Amino acid sequence: MLGWELPPHNSGGLGVACFNMAKALSNQGADIDFVVPYQAKHPNTKFMHVLNATNLDPIHRYGGGAYTTAHLFDEIIPDLKDENLVSIREVQQEYCNYVEKYLLTNEKPDVIHAHDWLTYEAGIMAKKEFNVPLIAHVHATEFDRAGMHVGNPLIHEVEYEGLMQADRIIAVSETTKRIIHEKYHIPLSKIDVVYNSLDESYEVEDYSFNDKTYQYIESLKDQGYTIVSTVGRFTIQKGLPGLLRAASLAISKNNKLIFIFAGDGEERNSLIELTADLGISKNVIFTGFIRGKKLRDIYSLTDIFVMSSISEPFGLTALEAAHHGDVLILANQSGVSEIIWSALKYDFWDKKKLADEILSVAENPALKNSLKKNIKKEYHKISWDKVAKKCLKVYNEAMKHKGID
């Protein structure tokens, strides 16, 4: 398996998904070597071999160039040698070299399962040089990250090449499958959809919500306010200006609504500005970046969780919110909306409908309670076991495709 991160050295959902998937696959009898582009210890990964492709610290896996100048970098980590200041392309090249060396010295694997564009070049090399069946797993495309606008042309090229060369492709949703087909012209028959599941530890983790922690919000709730929230990076992909405009519409009918925007990102300042322009600053709270217990607290305080993304390959935060008993309102352009039925849905551009849905939940206890009750029954219907079974099926197809039994 070719990946870019594993917990605890992960920056987002990719590492968590890879970890859970590998664990479930190993439970089903798969023997996994997992290559990461950095040097670090990974606890709880006894079920597979984690291989370190470089000597880099995990923080440099996207390359030094992702940060500012060498000078500034020098100040942060003075003992860092110049030759370590590499770009992401160089990290990828190193990663590729490592995989090549691995294939020369080890028994050839039955399949290579490569996660996202970062690892595709290594996967393509393995397929071309060593004739190993390649499975490209798409957690997100560059089109998603760019909010369906044109993204980085280099990334598009790598993505395109990886998808073309792959024997089979796994997409995390029908939405993603459609994008792969429409933007990269890959035949639908080559793509299988395998949804993600909620992190297992998320459900068993010891957490309890203390309703005395956030007395201001609690007092608002006592006065009949409804708390609407969204969680994520403030990037163009997340469709947050649309959510703010819908909020403004909803508040014009009912001002007992509080909108919590949890997260941070390049759109933060413009979102704050837009909030002021719309005259709803009193109803909107920006928390900044949060994780762990605080994030769970936000979910716990929330009545309605909105996923407003313009394009969301899956949308794991919706399942987390459901775990904490929130009502879900999901953009139809999210993968998670394909598998969740007990939720309200809308098209990301339809601000009036989103406002309608928020107001209906806020004002009809029967609707709110039905949605809360029913989502509890279905949010964990996709298990990692099912994910692993589907992956194994895809492996078999890819091997057949290569004439291997």
Where do contacts with other proteins occur on this chain (CB under 8 A)?
Answer: 249, 253, 339, 341-345, 352-353, 355-357, 359-360, 364-367, 369-371, 374, 377-378
Task: Yes or no: say if 230 and 258 are a contact pair by the CB < 8 Å rule.
Answer: no
Residue whose CB is less far from other proteins, 42 or 177: 177
Residue whose CB is less far from other proteins, 193 or 290: 193
Report the candidate in 241, 239, 245, 236 with the shortest Cα–Cα distance to residue 352: 245
Question: d(Cα 384, Cα 381) in Å, to the nearest integer?
Answer: 10
Number of Cβ within 10 Å of residue 189's Cβ equals 7
Number of Cβ within 10 Å of residue 306's Cβ equals 30
Residue whose CB is less far from other proteins, 214 or 348: 348
Q: How far is the CB of 405 from other proteins (least distance, A)?
A: 33
Question: d(Cα 80, Cα 101) in Å, to the nearest integer?
Answer: 26
3-state secondary structure of 52: strand
Q: How far is the CB of 244 from other proteins (least distance, A)?
A: 17
Please give the backbone phi and psi of residue 193, each rounded to the nearest 5 degrees, phi first: -100, 125
Q: How far is the CB of 380 from other proteins (least distance, A)?
A: 12
Residue whose CB is less far from other proteins, 289 or 349: 349
Question: d(Cα 91, Cα 123) in Å, to the nearest integer?
Answer: 15
Residue whose CB is less far from other proteins, 115 or 345: 345
Per the omega criterion (within 30 degrees of 0), is the bond before 37 cis?
Answer: no
Q: How far is the CB of 232 from other proteins (least distance, A)?
A: 24
Residue whose CB is less far from other proteins, 287 or 374: 374
Q: How far is the CB of 336 from other proteins (least distance, A)?
A: 13
Number of Cβ within 10 Å of residue 184's Cβ equals 18
Q: How far is the CB of 362 from other proteins (least distance, A)?
A: 10
